[in-house]
Amino acid sequence: MLAFVQPAQASVESVMVGNGPSCIYASSSSDDVTNVPGVSFDASTSTLTLDNANIIANDVNGRNGIDIDGGDIDVTVVVNGDNTIVGSGNGISTNGTLRFVGSGTLTVVGSEYGIYSRNYNLVFAGPTVTARGQNAGIFGFLGVKVTDGKISAEGKTNSIGTGGGGAISNKPANLGAIKGELGYGARFKKGSVTYQKLESHDLKLVKWGNGKTLNTKKAVSFGGYSKYWIAEIGTKACKGCRKLKKAVIHWRTYRIGKQAFANCKNLKLLDVSVVGTQVIDSATGKAGGIGKKAFAGAGAKNGKGLKVKCGWGKGFPDFRKGARKALISKGLSKKANVVK
């Protein structure tokens, strides 16, 4: 399960709403945003309500549509009716956690980020939200979680972003209209497999699930983006996966972590025929791109039932000797059948 770090309870210090040339301020002891149509704030419950609000704050460079500030705050945003928030900085910005509830619609546009939490999480539990920003449509430093409603996010850099290792947790149907890529470090789960976004279009496979075949030649799709590639298989990513029977490692994969396939007792085929020399150098018998004990205990019948394909077949150079030496140094059973 992808864990979320929750902020400690703290008082909201200010709620600032930019609307044209004005900027209305509300302290934690006041709800003085009532003169902004469609916006109210209850300091006693840290609840911001948007009810057919139309906030356009693009008259001053860098102004946020709505800015909620304080310590480690946790604010509920109730969305009723149809709402539009536009900021020349961020659309909606906070340093804490925002929880969006309600059954209304919310369109948020920011020059930098649409909806932005610089320290904690963003949680969506009901409304239909569309967010756009130059850097990311939605950014939650520690994570973005969708439990209900529908989220559409678009950004020229990232669609949904997090800080390093932040989680993206969602029901599959909730992320239907994402454009662009996830941010660096973002974790997400597709089916039973957990991935983490790396640089460019690359992913790390963090945890394998219950599938029978792992093939890193195939692209991974998420939301509206379909060209992510598994560049790394993480430490213990497939360890002990009894249902995994076939692993095909493509040249796009440049790193296999420690104990990545350890104790995969039913693994019958390991295809490393097209991996790059940074992973296995058959000429020297070294496996610089594979971690310790990556294949320890892997293979049916104590390794005897595991076939390892390491060459391109008839008419091509025979890489078996070097590849076998390299893989055995990373825990592969000497009983494994290494074929060309």
pLDDT tens column, 49-99: 999 988 887 655 667 888 887 767 888 999 999 999 988 889 999 888 999
CB count in 10 Å sphere of residue 321: 12
Range of the domain at 287: 191-340
Q: Could you tell me if 143 and 291 lie in one domain? A: no
Q: Which of 134, 157, 190 is the last residue of a domain?
A: 190
The per-residue pLDDT for 255 is 96
DSSP3 helix / strand / coil % (the chain, rounded to 5): 5, 45, 50
Q: Could you tell me if 195 and 333 lie in one domain? A: yes
Q: Could you tell me if 222 and 256 lie in one domain? A: yes
Q: Which of 157, 190, 223 is the last residue of a domain?
A: 190
Q: Which of 190, 221, 236 is the last residue of a domain?
A: 190
Contacts for 20 with CB less than 8 Å, ≥ 6 apart? 56, 57, 59
Q: Could you tell me if 104 and 86 lie in one domain? A: yes
Q: What's the distance, Cα to Cα, between the start and end of the chain in Å?
A: 40
Within a domain: 250: yes
Radius of gyration of the chain (CA): 25
**Predicted confidence (pLDDT) per residue in 232-249, tens digit:** 999 999 999 999 999 999
Angstrom distance (rounded) from CA 254 to CA 325:
19
Q: Which of 250, 254, 176, 184 is nearest to 217 (CA)?
A: 250
Q: Could you tell me if 206 and 317 lie in one domain? A: yes
CB 205 within 8 A of CB 234: yes
Amino acid identity of 69?
A: D
Q: Could you tell me if 175 and 233 lie in one domain? A: no
Locate all alpha helices (DSSP H) within the chain, ordered by sequence.
320-328
Within a domain: 3: no
Within a domain: 219: yes
The strand pair at 92-94 and 113-117 is best described as parallel
The per-residue pLDDT for 263 is 97
Q: Could you tell me if 81 and 195 lie in one domain? A: no
| CATH code of residue 247 | 3.80.10
Within a domain: 4: no
The per-residue pLDDT for 19 is 46
| Alpha carbon distances (Å) from 207 to 73, 93, 122, 147 | 32, 32, 24, 22
Stretches where the chain sits below pLDDT 70 are 1-14, 17-35, 58-62, 71, 157-158, 163-184, 223-224, 312-317
| Alpha carbon distances (Å) from 198 to 163, 171, 187, 203, 306 | 12, 22, 10, 5, 31
The per-residue pLDDT for 1 is 30
Within a domain: 1: no
The per-residue pLDDT for 34 is 47
